[in-house]
Amino acid sequence: MTNGIVYRILNRTAYTNTGLASGQTSEIVLARNLDLLSYRVGILVVRVHSINLASNTGAKYEVILKPEDPSSDEPDVDYVGSAVATVTLDTATTAPALLLAITSTEFPHIGRVTLKATQGASQTTHVCAISADLVLKP
């Protein structure tokens, strides 16, 4: 039996969120089709290298682990479940920081990690530089 595995989800990468209206969100996939079959616990690890949310109330970035289950019968349909772990970077987050989220429930055999940006109360540009791992334990 394996002791676990570490998936490198994201090397240090800078993201800029601009052009979203107040309260709008934008979500991108960082990793998909992660083999989770042999594991029962996941820890989402996010390193915050830099962040500037411009004191914009409600502005945030979220790194999210979700279950997914692609279907060969419908390859164009995205079967994705609700978040099982979320790391939130908001106006209270300062860099450098190490943020962790342990899965809230057991997850199915395949997972994906996304980055969701939410615009705050005012329409401003906000940026962050992050890296992330997913630690899996049997």
Whether the pLDDT of residue 135 is over 70: the answer is yes
Range of the domain at 57: 5-137
Helix (H) or strand (E) holding 102: strand 97-102
The pLDDT, as a whole number, for residue 3 is 85
Q: Is the pLDDT of residue 128 over 80?
A: yes
> Which residues partner with 112 through β-bridges?
66
**In CATH, what number is assigned to the domain containing residue 73?**
2.60.120
Give CA separation, 67 vs 4, 44, 100, 103, 124, in Å: 19, 13, 18, 11, 32
% residues pLDDT > 70 (the chain): 99
Rounded Cα distance, 57 and 49, in Å: 21
Residue 80 is classified by DSSP as B
Q: What is the tally of structural domains in the chain? A: 1
Mean pLDDT of 76-90: 93
pLDDT confidence band for 11 (50 / 70 / 90): very high
